[in-house]
Amino acid sequence: MKVYQTDKVKNLVLLGSSGSGKTTLAEAMLYNGGVIERMGSVEAGTTVSDYNKIEQDQKNSIYSTIMYTEYNDHKINMIDAPGADDFVGKAYTAINPANVALMMINAQNGVEVGTEIHSRALELYDKPKVFVINHLDHSKANFDASLDSIKESFGPKVAQVQYPVNAGEGFNSIIDVIKMKMFRYPTEGGKAEVLDIPEDEKGRAADLHQELIEKAAENDDKLMDLFFTNDGLTEDEMRAGITAGLVHRDLYPVFCVSAKKNIGVQRLMEFIVNVVPRPTECSKREDTKGNIVPIDMSKPASIFVFKTSVEDHIGEVNYFKVITGVLNEGVDLVNQRTQNKERLTQLFVVAGKKKEKVSQLVAGDIGAVVKLKATRTSDTLNAHGLDLEYNPVMSPSPRHRVAIRPLNEAEDEKLGEALHRMHEIDPSLKIEYSKELKQILIHGQGERHMNILKWHLENEFKIETEFLKPKIPYRETITKPAQADYRHKKQSGGAGQFGEVHMVIEPYHEGDPDPTMYKINGKEIKVSIKDKEEFDLPWGGKLIYISSIVGGSIDARFMPAILKGIREKIETGPLTGSYARDIRVVVYDGKMHPVDSNEISFKLAGRNAFSEAFKNAGPKIMEPIYKVEVLVPVDYMGDVMSDLQNRRAMVLGMDSEKGLEKITARVPLSEMDKYATSLSSLSQGRAMFNMSFIEYASVPTEVQAELLKAYTSDDKDE
């Protein structure tokens, strides 16, 4: 394959809801570019993009797939992103190296929730988009309704470039208002016959042509001057204006196709080659120091690894984008993270599982390399002496979590290594080893996301696992002061153990003044602060430890031991074994024995005094509360609201956003188990949500009683 220079490379990501036709469009573009001899189909499992067995079995994209095609002396790199909500992390990966998104719209449905999900990801990366309305050959296709939904969701930046003459089962003709021609396609699709616009369509086409000229001129002052001077723009001037509009994300062109029948695809490819911005025009990457690094082939080489996969008979494959310089096969680069040298023995361009060897790749291009030693997703590799590190691939916030364990306990370590490997391949999988909950937790996007992970563990790593309901990281605190005395005494021949501790505990709030006196159960306890320590607890909140010992009733050398006992009990709270927080402890008296007192005695006395006082201090269990935002079509609003209320949600507000209803609510984490699955079921897959931690709040009385009962029962079982 020839080496393409930077100005002859275009990088696209294909986005849209499941069923919008991304994979089929990629197939048609590969066919038109001569990369494949015939188009495959999703139904038959013969497409270039969905080449993994699990994708072929499920008839759906699960992974992002890198491909390329060639057209009019240009190389078009394409990344097909899965449309299912559960695999949105793969879309983030796919967007990273692209310059422009082709946003696929199903002409039967218009803008869907998946469109909104991918659009939000595009905004994070600040990437432009071109809308492609597909399935116009379907009997239920409705181009005008689809276009209206795009305009409603994305506003006045939407610019119509084409419209179908006869959408529906007989669809074969498109009017293009850049060229002001009609394209009529043969039954089998492919190359169009270019005709004059019919008389009955000339008025509509002229109006759209003028509207497009005005939108194009708005993006460049020089073009605006030409527009007013010449009362219009030439085709080349329109192209320049549309390119500028795409670069600044001020213009969203709309095309129409039937990808399955290869209708309109060649004209779309022509637009990509002629109008879509080059890598140098809208692909400035930011490094970790906040500097913008432009695409520049004259600089020393640096590449960014945006995806890693493991493939049969090959092993690990790293996919990268060349940011600066010219990359030659056999070159040595330095991994900025590890500072180790990596030799890129062979360079490849890829079309699904097909890999074609190339001798060189230039800045702006996308390629692959195999058998690197220790390079993973988001790594930067530099020419010797270059000090660059690019920002990592973004990941969506997790919305679903499960606990996992191996069926064979002897495979604990093997499972840990496999999960670490899967996180490197899919950064949207977050792995947490919770000391608090004594569980391995996996955070992801939904049940399908987790089931794909389980499939990999069983089929590739040969580890049988089971998912468990994750425990909730409750917190324990107190609501009023309480006092307790505890004497630890043990005699078993020879030296014994003796330690007695008197303490007061109370709730602590940031900024509370130091105590001077307590009155508890009619007894006054004066506080004279001799020493004070303040601890920010790793799980949130504080512990304040005050020594108010007078008269030497407890030797100062035993005070750290008392603190140690208290801290041990704070890590396994007296109510449910959860972490305790926001407590002030005042040790004001006690007793020692000249022979039998030691550190272990006072540690045990401190721990037990704290536990007794805690239970008398109005103890309260606190639960994590999350802010949940749900976007749902109005038809499903009632069912979604009812479900949230059953989850103890407090609705904070309702609003409209891009044609969808938006519900914002506070929901306890304990009530969010499998919410992604429930929401999909309630809305027929047309709703989406995100969630983020807000705070800890007290659980209702009846919930606390249930938790205490469950903990007591578990404790007895153990």
Same domain for 601 and 631?
A: no
Q: What is the pLDDT of residue 345?
A: 95
Tens of pLDDT along 455-501? 999 998 999 999 999 999 999 999 999 999 999 998 776 678 999 99
Same domain for 149 and 277?
A: yes
Q: What is the pLDDT of residue 406?
A: 96
Same domain for 611 and 542?
A: yes
Contact criterion met (CB below 8 Å) for 623 and 474: yes
| pLDDT reading at 97 higher than 90 | yes
Phi then psi for residue 717, to 5 deg, are -60, -40
Is 390 contained in some domain? Answer: no
Q: Residue range 145-172: average pLDDT?
A: 94
Q: What is the pLDDT of residue 718?
A: 42
Cα 146 from Cα 320, distance rounded (Å): 35
Share of the chain above pLDDT 70, in %: 98
Q: Which residues neighbour 646 within 8 Å (Cβ) at sequence distance 6 or greater?
A: none
The CATH number of the domain holding residue 351 is 2.40.30.10
Is 392 contained in some domain? Answer: no
Cα 29 from Cα 51, distance rounded (Å): 17
3-state secondary structure of 269: helix
Q: Report the number of distinct structural domains present in the chain.
A: 5
| pLDDT reading at 200 higher than 60 | yes
Q: Residue range 361-369: average pLDDT?
A: 97
**Paired strand residues for 409:** none
Same domain for 172 and 47?
A: yes
| pLDDT reading at 428 higher than 50 | yes
Same domain for 192 and 289?
A: no
Q: Residue range 309-317: average pLDDT?
A: 85
Same domain for 550 and 639?
A: no
Contact criterion met (CB below 8 Å) for 456 and 424: no
Q: What is the pLDDT of residue 330?
A: 95
| pLDDT reading at 1 higher than 90 | no
Contact criterion met (CB below 8 Å) for 195 and 267: no
Cα 250 from Cα 252, distance rounded (Å): 7
DSSP-derived pairing of the beta strands 315-324 and 366-370: antiparallel
Same domain for 566 and 635?
A: no
3-state secondary structure of 525: strand
Q: Residue range 614-628: average pLDDT?
A: 95
Q: What is the pLDDT of residue 714?
A: 59
Q: How confident is the model at residue 283 (pLDDT cuts 50, 70, 90)?
A: low
Q: How confident is the model at residue 717 (pLDDT cuts 50, 70, 90)?
A: very low
| pLDDT reading at 353 higher than 90 | no
Q: What is the chain's mean pLDDT, rounded? A: 92
Q: How confident is the model at residue 416 (pLDDT cuts 50, 70, 90)?
A: very high
In eight-state DSSP terms, residue 166 is S
In eight-state DSSP terms, residue 445 is S
**Can you list the positions of beta strands (E) in 407-562?**
430-434, 439-444, 465-468, 475-477, 482-490, 497-507, 517-520, 523-526, 531-536, 542-547
Among residues 250, 63, 275, the alpha carbon closest in space to that of 156 is found at 250
Same domain for 501 and 445?
A: no
Same domain for 555 and 488?
A: yes
Same domain for 413 and 427?
A: yes
Domain range holding 335? Answer: 285-382
* Lowest-pLDDT choice from 349-358, 485-494, 570-579: 485-494
Q: Which residues neighbour 694 within 8 Å (Cβ) at sequence distance 6 or greater?
A: 625, 626, 627, 666
| pLDDT reading at 431 higher than 70 | yes
Please identify, among 427, 445, 471, the residue that sits at the C-terminal boundary of a domain.
471
The CATH number of the domain holding residue 673 is 3.30.70.240
Cα 69 from Cα 240, distance rounded (Å): 24
Tens of pLDDT along 237-282? 889 999 999 999 999 999 999 999 999 999 999 999 999 999 999 8
Tokens of 594: 């000249």
Q: What is the pLDDT of residue 235?
A: 85
**Paired strand residues for 689:** 630
Tokens of 4: 């393409």
Is 62 contained in some domain? Answer: yes
Consecutive H or E run containing 366: strand 366-370
Cα 495 from Cα 641, distance rounded (Å): 67
Is 109 contained in some domain? Answer: yes
* Lowest-pLDDT choice from 213-222, 451-460, 529-538, 701-710: 213-222
* pTM of the model as a whole: 0.85
CA distances to 2, 204, 409 from 585, in Å: 74, 79, 41
CB atoms within 10 A of CB 689: 21
Please identify, among 382, 411, 445, the residue that sits at the C-terminal boundary of a domain.
382
Q: Residue range 371-396: average pLDDT?
A: 94
Q: What is the pLDDT of residue 574?
A: 85
Is 717 contained in some domain? Answer: no
Phi then psi for residue 412, to 5 deg, are -55, -50
Q: What is the pLDDT of residue 531?
A: 93
Is 234 contained in some domain? Answer: no
Q: Residue range 189-213: average pLDDT?
A: 94
**Paired strand residues for 574:** none
Which residue type is seen at 676? A
Q: What is the pLDDT of residue 493?
A: 67
Tokens of 89: 């992390």
Cα 102 from Cα 652, distance rounded (Å): 35
The CATH number of the domain holding residue 485 is 3.30.230.10
Share of the chain above pLDDT 90, in %: 77
Please identify, among 616, 631, 660, the residue that sits at the C-terminal boundary of a domain.
616
Q: How confident is the model at residue 713 (pLDDT cuts 50, 70, 90)?
A: low
Q: What is the pLDDT of residue 716?
A: 47
| pLDDT reading at 410 higher than 80 | yes
**Paired strand residues for 647:** none
**Can you list the positions of beta strands (E) in 571-687?**
579-580, 583-591, 620-632, 650-657, 660-668
Q: Which residues neighbour 70 within 8 Å (Cβ) at sequence distance 6 or greater?
A: 33, 34, 35, 76
| pLDDT reading at 619 higher than 60 | yes
The CATH number of the domain holding residue 133 is 3.40.50.300
Tokens of 543: 């512990």
Contact criterion met (CB below 8 Å) for 379 and 341: no
Is 225 contained in some domain? Answer: no
Is 226 contained in some domain? Answer: no
Its sign, for the CA torsion 259, 264, 267, 272, is: negative
The CATH number of the domain holding residue 439 is 3.30.70.870
Q: Residue range 2-20: average pLDDT?
A: 94
Same domain for 303 and 434?
A: no
Q: What is the pLDDT of residue 217?
A: 87
Q: What is the pLDDT of residue 637?
A: 93
**Paired strand residues for 308:** 318
Same domain for 151 and 42?
A: yes
CB atoms within 10 A of CB 664: 14
Cα 614 from Cα 638, distance rounded (Å): 44
* Lowest-pLDDT choice from 91-105, 282-296, 381-395, 452-466: 282-296
